[in-house]
Amino acid sequence: MFAASEHHVMYQYNLVNAKTHYLGMIQTETPYYQPSPAPPAPFTVSTTFQDPSNWSGISAAWALRVTTSTDIIVFGAGLYSFFSNYVQTCLTPENCQAQQVNVDTTSSVHIYSLATVGTTFQLSVNQAGIINQSANPNGFAATVTAWSQS
C-alpha cells in the first residue's frame, strides 16, 4: 500500500507492505496547527488504510513512514515543518516537530539527499530518533546525504 497527501493529519507518505518503489524528489509539509490537536485527532485510525496505531510521544504527522516494506529507494526528499500551533518560533532551534521519517526495523530502505526543516530528528527507527538535524546543517535545511537499512 502506498498513500501520499501533503498536510495530512497522520502522515504524508505511508508505505506499508510495499515492494520495489522509487520515490523521487518527494516534498511535504506538516499541518500548521499541530500539535494542537496532536495526531490522529481530529480523525480516527483506520485499519483499512493501515494507519499507525501507536501515537505515544508523537505530536505531529509523519512526513514519511515505511513499515514492512522492501527495496524502497527515496532519491531526494524535502520534508518541512514550519509551524507549531501556527507559530514559527520553533524554527530556531529547529524543534517544530520531534521526528519526520520513521522506518521500522523489518524494512529495507535507501534514502539519498534527505533535507528537513524544523525537525529535531530527521530519521527515526521504530519511533526512536537516530539522526539529529544538529549534525547536518546545510543552509536553509539540514541534509543527510545517504542512509540505508537492509
Instruction: Give residue limits of the domains in the chain.
Output: 2-149
What does the alpha-carbon distance between residue 35 and residue 49 come to, in Å, rounded to a whole number?
Answer: 22
Q: With 90 as the cut, is the pLDDT of residue 30 above it?
A: yes
Residue 116: predicted pLDDT: 98
Give me the mean pLDDT over the 54-82 stretch: 96
Give me the mean pLDDT over the 51-72 stretch: 95
C-alpha angle 14/18/23, rounded to 5°?
65
Q: With 90 as the cut, is the pLDDT of residue 70 above it?
A: yes
Give me the mean pLDDT over the 20-47 stretch: 96
Q: With 90 as the cut, is the pLDDT of residue 5 above it?
A: no
Whether CATH 2.160.20.10 fits 2-149: yes
Give the pLDDT band (50/70/90) at residue 1: low
- Find, among 85, 113, 119, the residue nearest to 100 by Cα: 119
Q: With 60 as the cut, is the pLDDT of residue 2 above it?
A: no
- pTM of the complete model beyond 0.85: yes
Q: With 90 as the cut, is the pLDDT of residue 46 above it?
A: yes
Report residue 109: phi and psi, to 5°: -140, 140
